Chain A
Amino acid sequence: MQKTERNWKGQVELFLVGEQIESFLNECIQDDISFVNVERKNVSHVQAIMNIPDVKKLRKIARNHPIKVSFGERKGMYLYNKRVLDVLDLSQVFSCSSSLLAFCHKWFGGWMLKELRRRSNMKYVYGHKIKFSTR
């Protein structure tokens, strides 16, 4: 579940070069920044993966530390969402999603009522109200 969430938010590869990387990581963790696949390459070089929304917070902390932060490859659904939203207008997205919703409601709702009628052997099933026979 956490992996899906991370993928949805988007991830970025992070390279930390300098001294006192541990204290920098501790400060980041205290500020609710989580890291994944933290790997020490050599004495002054650490590689990790972090969530894209936390980059701003990390930059703030990095200003107070003698550390060089550089970013690598980005991945995740976040980037695709952003690209799609950049291309499409918000009104277009709204009209498309509402028409899709209406289509689903008509076809899927109709099918559900049909199934309900078939399974319960009831004559009177109208919309979301179920009418029971009194006999």
Chain B
Amino acid sequence: MASISRKLRKLMTKSMQIPADVTLGLSRVTMIGHVHVYIENHRGILSFSSDNVQLRLSDGELLVTGKEMIIKAILPDELILEGQIDQVAHIHNKGEK
């Protein structure tokens, strides 16, 4: 049943050109230079230090590496990272097609 609704939502996204973060609940990552990263629709923090931040997303994980990073603000759906950002990597779930 869940897969049917997911397929329907995917179809709706394609046909009606609605952003995927709205219909599928996917994460939205916005970077401002190498100073700020805004992450929306996250599912929580996995690990956190000044050099790397690992977050859980609806479709995998997000790994942000850098230097002197701090979490500027953390809200239920939103996270703002500040510092010298070197790399942002998205790790997919293994079981996902």
Contacts and interface: CB of A to CB of B under 8 A. Distances in A.
Interface in B30-88: 44-50, 70-76
Nearest to B80: A36
B76 A37 contact: no
Given A34-B73, A36-B74, 13 more contacts: A2-B73, A22-B45, A22-B48, A29-B44, A29-B76, A32-B76, A34-B75, A36-B73, A38-B70, A38-B71, A39-B71, A40-B49, A46-B48
A29 B74 contact: yes
A36 B71 CA distance: 7
Contact of B72 (A21, A32, A37): A37
A25 B73 contact: no
Contact of A38 (B44, B46, B48, B76): B48
- The range of chain A's interface size is 10 to 19
Contacts, number: 44
Contacts of B73: 2, 34-36
A121 interface: no
Interface string A81-105: 0000000000000000000000000
Interface of A: 2, 21-22, 25-26, 29-30, 32, 34-40, 46, 48
A89 B33 CA distance: 52
A39 B70 contact: yes
A32 B78 CA distance: 12
Contacts of A29: 44, 74-76
Interface of B: 44-50, 70-76
Given A22-B45, A26-B45, A29-B44, A38 B74 contact: yes
Contacts of B49: 40
Among A2, A21, A39, find the residue whose CB has the most chain B CB atoms closer than 10 A.
A39
A22 B74 contact: no
B33 to A, nearest CB: 20
- In the complex, the 5 A-B pairs of residues with the closest C-beta atoms, listed nearest first: A38-B71, A26-B44, A22-B45, A39-B70, A34-B75
